[in-house]
Amino acid sequence: MPQSIPSPIPPQLTRLADGTIKQLNPFSGTEIWTVPGRANRPLEVTSENPMPLADTGKTCAFCADRILETPPEKARIARSGDDAVISYATAVDDLAEPWEFRRVGNLFEIVSYDFWVKNYGYKMPVAAQERMERYLADPAGKAHALSVVHQKATASHIETSEWEKMTEWERIQMAQPFFGGGHEVIISRRHYVDGAHDSSQLASSGTLTPQEHQWYMRLTVDAMRDLYAQNRYAKYVQVFQNWLRPAGASFDHLHKQLVAIDERSVNARMEAPKVRDNPNYYNEAAVDYASSQNLVIAENKHAIAIAGFGHRYPTLEVWSRSASCQPWEHTPEELRDVSDLVHAMHAATGVFIPTNEEWYSKPLDLDVAMPWRILIKWRVSTLAGFEGGTKIYVNTIDPWMLRDKVVPKLLELRAEGAIAQSINIATECSCKVNSLKYNPNLQ
C-alpha cells in the first residue's frame, strides 16, 4: 500500500515590505506580528530602591531558615564530594542538614489531592502512606505537619472557631496532600546570591553554576518520574518555572513546579495529528527551519537552542536531541547537555527579565514520539484588546532581534567561565539536518 505524503508545512516567518514580520507557530497555529517601532521598550524589571540585607535566610517562606513553613520534605539533593546525591523522605530532625534543592508539596495545589480521591478513587501509594505514618509518629514531625496545615487553613480563611472544633484526626487528614499530592515544588537553597548585600541581588537560574543547574534539573526530572509512578490516573505532568512576580511567581525565590493532570495537554492534542501525518515534523518545522533562517543560537552534542517563532512572547527554545522522549530516560550526559543549554539561556537572559520556563514532553499514553523541549519565555509585554479581539498577538521582539540580543551575551559568559565550555554558539554550530533523534525512522 503506498505511503501517504505528509501535508506541506506552511511558511512560519514572512517579512513584509514595511518591515512587519508575521510569524505562524507550526504547532499551535498561533499568529504573531512584530511591528516596526514597537520594540523600543525596557525589558528588565529592576528594583528602584534596593534594601540592605539583614538576614538572607528569612526573606520568604522558601528560605533556608524558614524551612518549617513548607510541607514535609519528599526529597532533596545535597552535595557529596564533587557531585550531589538525591535522598528521600527527610526526617524532621534532618531538615537543617545542608542541601542544594528541596522537593516539597505545594501548599496551594492547582489540581488538588481531593480531585484525585473524589474523581478517581485515588489511594495514596503504600510507600507514601508509610512515610506519612513515620513522619507523624515523631512528635516533632506531627507538630511540623499540623503547623503547616494550620498555616494553610488560615490562608484559606477557615475561621478560628471552625479550626478549634476540628479533631486531631481531621487536621491530620488535611496533611495528606503533603505526602501523596500531585502538585510539587522544587526549591533552591538561595534567595540571594552568596555574599549579596542588597535586595536587588536575587539568585536566579542563570546565577547558578552549570553543575548546580544540573542538580536542579536532576531533582526535577526525578520528581517528574515519581509523580507518574505514584498516580496511574495521571496522563501528563507539567513542569514550569515562574521567575519574578510579573511572570506569576508568588516569591522572587528560585523554584520550579510540577503538576499532574488527568488528560493530555492541549499542545499535545494539537501536535499529535501533525506528527502522525509526518513523524519528522519537529525536525522540519522547528529546528531545521530555524537553521534555514539563521536562528540557531547554541548547541552541544545532545541539545540545541534556537530563537523561537510563533510565540506571544520572545522565546528561547532548547530541544533535546536524544532518541528518548521522556526526561528520566535520558542518559546523564544527555540530561547534562539539556541542562547546560537551559542554564546558558537563563544566564544570557539575566536576573531582571521576568520569565516562564515551560517543559514539553510526550504524554505517557500517546502513540507517537515527541522530543523533550524547554521554552524560556520573556514576559516583557502585556496582552491587550487588539490581541483579545483578533487572536493575532503583537510580539515586540522578532526572532532575529532575540538572537542578536542573546548571542553576544553567551560569548561573553563563556569567556568568563560562567556557562558550560562545551557549548557552541551561533556560527560555531553544525546545524545538522534532522539532529533530533526522537523520530524512530532516524535511529
Q: What is the pLDDT of residue 40?
A: 56
CB 84 within 8 A of CB 100: yes
Lowest mean pLDDT among 245-249, 374-378, 412-416: 245-249
Q: How far apart are the first and last CA of the chain?
A: 24
Average pLDDT of the residues in 306-333: 97
| Nearest residue to 374 (alpha-carbon basis) of 404, 335, 416 | 335
- Report residue 327 as a C-alpha cell: 526526561
Cα–Cα distance measured from residue 147 to residue 187, given in angstroms and rounded to the nearest whole number: 20
Q: Is 274's pLDDT higher than 60?
A: yes
Q: pLDDT higher for 426 or 157?
A: 426
Give 100's contacts (C-beta < 8 A, 6+ positions apart). 76, 77, 78, 79, 84, 188, 189, 212, 215, 216
User: What is the pLDDT at residue 72?
Assistant: 97
- Asked if the model's pLDDT at residue 41 lies above 90, the reply is no
Instruction: Work out the angle at residue 215's Cα, subtended by the Cα atoms of residues 212 and 219, and round it to the nearest 5 degrees.
Output: 150
Mean pLDDT of the residues in the chain: 93
**Mean pLDDT of the region 7-35:** 90
**What pLDDT is attached to residue 1?**
46
Tell me which of 442 and 343 has the higher pLDDT.
343
CA neighbor of 316 nearest in space, from 295, 333, 336: 295
pLDDT at 378 over 90: yes
> 324 and 440 in contact (C-beta within 8 Å)?
no
Domain 13-45+260-442 classification at class level: alpha beta
pLDDT given for residue 97 in this prediction: 95
Residue 106 has pLDDT above 90, yes or no: yes
- Predicted pLDDT of residue 25: 95
For residue 156, the model assigns a pLDDT of: 82
How many residues in total does the chain contain? 443
Least confident of 4-18, 114-128, 263-277: 4-18
Enumerate the domain spans of the chain.
Answer: 13-45+260-442, 64-209+224-236
- Give the pLDDT of residue 109: 94
Distance CA 248, CA 6 (A): 39
Q: Supply the DSSP symbol for 5.
A: P
Residue 39, pLDDT > 70, answer: no
Cβ(411)–Cβ(421) below 8 Å: no
Q: Which residue has the higher pLDDT, 381 or 192?
A: 192
Report residue 57's pLDDT band, with 50, 70 and 90 as the boundaries: confident
When pLDDT is averaged across residues 381-402 and rounded to a whole number, the result is: 89
Rounded to an integer, the average pLDDT of 326-354 is: 98
pLDDT given at position 440: 92
Backbone angles phi, psi at 355, to 5 degrees: -140, 150
Grade residue 4 by pLDDT with cuts at 50, 70 and 90. Answer: low
Residue 45 has pLDDT above 80, yes or no: no
Q: How far apart are CA 248 and CA 252, in angstroms?
A: 10
Tell whether the model's pLDDT for residue 12 goes beyond 60.
yes
Distance CA 270, CA 52 (A): 49
* pLDDT tens string 64-81: 999 999 999 999 999 999
Decide if 305 contacts 317 (C-beta within 8 A). yes
